[in-house]
Amino acid sequence: MLGISVLYGHLTNQVKREKRRVKQLKQTEELKRQVVCALAHDVKAPLSVILGHAELLARSVGGQPDPAEQFVSLKCIRENIDRIVKLVTGFLNVSELVTPKTETSKSEVEINAIIRDVIRQQTVTLRKKDLNVRLELADDLKPCHGDQNQLERVLWNLIDNAIKFTPQGGAITLTSRMIANNISLSIRDTGVGIPKEELPNLFLEFKRLKGSANIDGTGLGLFIVKTILDAHNGAITAESQEGAGTTFKII
């Protein structure tokens, strides 16, 4: 009887170990799927910037090109190629999306500088859509202690969304200020807005809004934004009225 009990206990432990192994494999596969989807999503924004500036350079051929404007376009193309390389390199670590880099990779990040840079990179798209951008950035904004690349992804996604969902001739307002010892940001647009019933599920993975079928996207942008902000002890909320624009607020 003792031998049977030992054998039974051994088999039970083997089954438990196998269940744990299968669970870990499933989690790894799910993480890989998230990483591939997130990479595909994040690469689209810099590729759009590259395409816009390449078209601008192509139109200047045979005419009277402005050397200063050509220099800006070439600079933006180079910077966004570097950005894509950085994204791909970062995603080689498959845990990066769910668990952003360790404390050793964190530094003092200038949020206002990132906002200005994203707007500069998107100049061509903003001109095409005749969008008015207002920057109301506090001069006394303190640096944020965090992962520079991850926080860039947050602002790229939110500003890119505002541009995509704001119709021709609309406006986007970006605000930064200090509230106590926290950084407060808002991204407000005069776009199509979000139906009230969709707001509670806005930050879920692969969530696509009604009325966005004709707008390029994967439904991953806001999921990525919330994942990164959660890892930085931050929070994001959305206020919107259908047909009257959307405001995203970050603390």
Complete DSSP assignment for 58-106: HHHTTS---HHHHHHHHHHHHHHHHHHHHHHHHHTSTTTTTSPPPGGG-
Element (H, E) at 248: strand 246-250
Cα within 13 Å of Cα(205), Cβ side: 10
Q: How far lies 195's CA from each of 53, 200, 210, 242, 243, in Å?
A: 34, 10, 8, 5, 9
pLDDT in tens, the chain (251 residues): 556 666 666 667 676 676 676 666 666 566 666 666 667 667 777 888 888 888 888 887 777 778 888 888 888 888 888 777 766 765 654 455 554 444 447 889 999 999 999 898 888 888 889 999 999 999 999 999 998 888 988 998 899 889 988 999 999 999 999 999 999 999 999 988 888 888 887 877 555 555 544 444 445 678 888 888 988 999 999 998 888 889 999 99
Cα within 13 Å of Cα(175), Cβ side: 14
In angstroms, the CA 22 to CA 178 distance is: 47
